[in-house]
Amino acid sequence: MTFSSQSRPVWSAIVGVPLLFALIALLQVRIDAQTRSVAQQKQEMLLRSGTLLRKLSLGYDSLLSDIYWTRAVQYYGARVGTPQANFELLWPMLDLATTLDPKLMAAYRFGAIFLSETGDAGAGRTDLAVQLIKRGIAANPDQWRLGTDLGFLYYWRLQDYPDAAAAYLEASKNPQAPAWVKLMAARVAEKGGSFETSRAIWFQLYDSTSDPNIRRKATEQLRGLRAREDQMQLDELAKQYQKRYRRLPVSTKELLEAGLLNGIPVDPDGFPYVFGPDGRSHLDPASSFVISPEPSLPAAPK
């Protein structure tokens, strides 16, 4: 007598599920061993394919995902702070956990931190952290915090300001995202010298809100952007002046007389810029205008 088509899934569950959990139990025991070699570690991931695990799990995807995430946390915790610790299994476990349960936010957010930390604090693999967060964003487009995590990785870990600003800006498009996300996009763009991008974002912020505090902040930043851009251009012209005349300019009037300027530029309060002994431009001491400090680093994801 042969099995019916209805009995095959039941029989597969009876045989497959215990075998699957026995394999995972073996994995857990081996991960707990602290004296193994790198070669032994490479053999411990008995099941590296998340797609295969999903087929074998027979509906226990979330449970298996939680197991792999728990093991990833324990694996990381057992090694963090240990000189020359090996974190080779961290990515495979995070990969499996998020493949089995694409909605597991903790695995994306904290896993990215574990992966991107350097030295004895983590795997030093920001590239994999970025990959993990991008996977999370693709699977959870409604989770704006993942976008800010991506911005954080680009900004803090990679010093990639254009991509960081783009990540924050994209996250700000989520209706649930707070206003500070778009503010961060503008500040990061400014930090990276992308004045046009920052200016466009501040203008959009001003036009899209009725909050007087945000509108006031946007106005201040737009005025500050103008002043910073003016000063950068004047500093470059001062270098050209120095190459031509073998000395630094003492005023913008000298740049005008040398044909490097078409007029005397003024700050947002109407005062001409001045040059210091170092040949760098500054606001006139008589001006009441104050340029806001350059953007500070974004805080770590929470």
pLDDT at 192: 79
Q: How far is CA 227 from CA 239, 249, 266, in A?
A: 19, 19, 9
Spell out the domain ranges in the chain.
11-140
Secondary structure (3-state) at 40: helix
Burial of 159 (0-12, 13-18, 19+ CB in 10 A): exposed
Residue 25 makes CB contacts below 8 A (sequence gap 6+) with none
Query: For residues 107 and 53, what is the distance between their CA atoms, to the nearest angstrom?
Result: 17
Q: How far is CA 110 from CA 84, 117, 122, 177, 301, in A?
A: 21, 11, 11, 20, 9
Query: For residues 97 and 69, what is the distance between their CA atoms, to the nearest angstrom?
Result: 6
pLDDT at 53: 57
pTM to 2 decimal places: 0.64
Residue carrying the six token digits 């203008």: 203
pLDDT at 129: 97
Residue carrying the six token digits 């597969």: 12
Output the six-digit token pair for 87.
């974190």
Query: For residues 118 and 80, what is the distance between their CA atoms, to the nearest angstrom?
Result: 10
What values do phi and psi take at 66, rounded to 5? -60, -40
pLDDT at 52: 55
Query: For residues 42 and 173, what is the distance between their CA atoms, to the nearest angstrom?
Result: 42
pLDDT averages per 10-residue partition of the chain, 302 residues: 46 50 56 46 47 56 85 90 89 91 94 92 94 97 95 90 92 91 85 78 78 83 88 93 94 94 93 92 90 57 50
pLDDT at 27: 53
Query: For residues 87 and 149, what is the distance between their CA atoms, to the nearest angstrom?
Result: 21
Q: Is the dihedral of CA 155, 157, 159, 160 positive or negative?
A: negative
- Residue 282: strand pairing partners: 274
